[in-house]
Amino acid sequence: MDNANISFSLGEYQDAVAIAMYAIRRDNIPHRIQTKDYTVWKQEPDEIVNRLGWLDAPAETLKKSIYIRATLKPLIKNIDDVVLLGIGGSSLAAEVFSKIFRSHAGYPKLHIVDTTDPAYILKITRRLNLKKTVFLVSSKSGTTLEVISLFKYFYNLTFKKSGNNAGNRFVFITDKGSPLTKIAKNIFAYHIFLNNPDIGGRYSALSFPGIIPAAIIGVDVEKLLQKATDKSETEKEYLSGAYLGAVLGTLALAGRDKLTLLLPSRWKSFGDWLEQLIAESTGKEGKGILPVLNEPIQDNFSYGKDRVFVFFQNKKIKYSPMESLISAGHPVITVNINDDYDLGAQMFIWEMATAVATHYLGVNPFDQPGVEAAKKYARRIIAEYTEKKKYISDQQPALSSKQGDVYGNITDATPAEAFTNFLKQAVAGDYICLQIYLSPSPKIDAAINYLCESIRRKYSLPVTYGYGPLYLHSTGQLHKGDSGNGLFIQLTQDNSLDVDIPDDIGKEKSSLTFGALKAAQAKGDWQALKDAKRRVIRFHCKANSAAGLKNLAELLF
């Protein structure tokens, strides 16, 4: 078997995986996936039969590489910066390519704006020379609220500098028939790349949403896509992705559903891409596989029996705790990386593995009901805000102090008691998730890492985190769709500054700000979590957010 440089130490689960692989071959699952048989997952074709274009994406996009380069070459000449306006599947692959390959000499620098945080948006705005900046507007549906809002904001800034020539600074990546195509034509945009509509966002890395940003910064996309194409061909015979999927699915059904990913620092962004692919695909119908990232692995740490460890390593990076984890009975998967362009093959392998794992779990890997639930509430809250300029149905805090407010079904006397008593609910098999609606900064990142480590040390449980609204397009599905073993801590703040979202391009009038939009998204996800009967608490910071997080962490010592 071509193992794609992946090795497995499965211990007591080896026989179960062997049985699973026998069933896969008996039922011809790999061939049925390759021939786009929706009954691999469900008896109805809805949101499956039109989401299998990723199987052909490497070869299809490779054939279009000359067209991509010829289209982009005149645009990026004498350009310093390219700003990608996208979120979730429209931004994560681009982030991976940018972080791993970086901008090559003579190519512009790529900035990714995948947030509605006003402070971050202003920070990016102040860095740009708009006369030497190009914008990529990327949204499959063409209706993604964050992307449309960001486009209107940055278009208006560019319009003030360039007038009617502003459209020539914009490139669109979307599906045929999406509302963005009409907008692009109306502003005389430089170009519209129409992606295969049968590719869902989280499976789009090897199609236009991932490859166009990669080409812009000078990545050898032909080499990247050729490796992916080669792997898609060998998969038909050797089933390396199918075997990985059988392992993930079998282990998840056996209770090993916390997929702990360890990557070299250069490849850490690949973990973020994997997180969305796996969590959003599997977290449904009371099931799911939880990716755990950025967790330092220790020989003497007490890990629960719900863990699977995946080590990505190269000739320079080896992990000493691996053998001790295997000796302790934990399943361990090792992925050997030869060079950075192995990324193309790895993306296809993990897409196939996720598709096979969801077959075992009996869920549709391509829909996202939990994501849509949060969006529905956010839209309702936004409509309420734009009409009344305040949140009529806003919840009241259970506790208030100078430092901040606490929201939730609690009876504690102090925020400290509320925090520690909330965490005391955790039992074996649970995980703890921080949902961060704070303005990102090095200080906040350091405080979040400190808080995660403190919780992990105290409770010996997985701790995950994500910045909102980005996580809503990633792990947000799993949070509402899995078995309900998560404890969710929302972290919000007052905005010290805000930025208007134009109602229309080329016009000043604004009915909504980015700060209000971000607040609505947090509130919408809160309500969706409550509807799913999840355990959730919110800490709203009024003062120094980083100091507040540090204070929470120190309560656990």
Q: What is the CATH code for 369-554? A: 3.40.50.10490
Q: Tokens 């194409």 appear where?
A: 229
Q: Is 304 exposed, middle or buried (0-12, 13-18, 19+ CB in 10 A)?
A: middle
395: closest CA among 529, 532, 549? Answer: 529
455: closest CA among 431, 439, 475? Answer: 431
**Residue 132 DSSP symbol:** G
Q: Tokens 């520690």 appear where?
A: 420
Cis bond leading into 469, ω under 30°? yes
Q: CA–CA separation, 221 vs 210, rounded Å? A: 10
14: closest CA among 247, 238, 259? Answer: 247
> Hey, where are the domains in the chain?
369-554
User: Hey, what amino acid is at 341?
Assistant: Y
User: Hey, what amino acid is at 244?
Assistant: L
Q: Count CB-CB contacts under 10 A for residue 12.
A: 9
Sign of torsion over alpha carbons 159, 161, 167, 169: negative
256: closest CA among 311, 329, 188, 192? Answer: 329
Quick one: pLDDT at residue 319? 66
Q: Which DSSP string do the residues of 178-206 spell out, in sequence order?
A: -HHHHHHHHTT-SEEEEE-TTS-GGG-TT
For 435, the 3-state DSSP assignment is: strand
Q: CA–CA separation, 551 vs 557, rounded Å? A: 11
Q: CA–CA separation, 481 vs 71, rounded Å? A: 41
Quick one: pLDDT at residue 1? 43
Tell me if the pTM is above 0.75: yes
Q: CA–CA separation, 407 vs 282, rounded Å? A: 30
Q: CA–CA separation, 513 vs 113, rounded Å? A: 16
Quick one: pLDDT at residue 401? 85
Cβ contact 410:418 at 8 Å:
yes
Q: CA–CA separation, 556 vs 452, rounded Å? A: 11
Task: Compute mean pLDDT per 10 residues along the chain, 557 residues long, and list them.
Answer: 78 97 96 97 96 98 98 93 97 98 96 97 96 97 96 97 94 96 97 97 97 98 98 93 97 98 94 98 98 86 92 77 89 94 97 98 96 92 81 76 89 92 96 97 96 94 96 96 97 92 94 94 96 97 91 90
Cβ contact 472:435 at 8 Å:
no
Q: CA–CA separation, 245 vs 6, rounded Å? A: 12
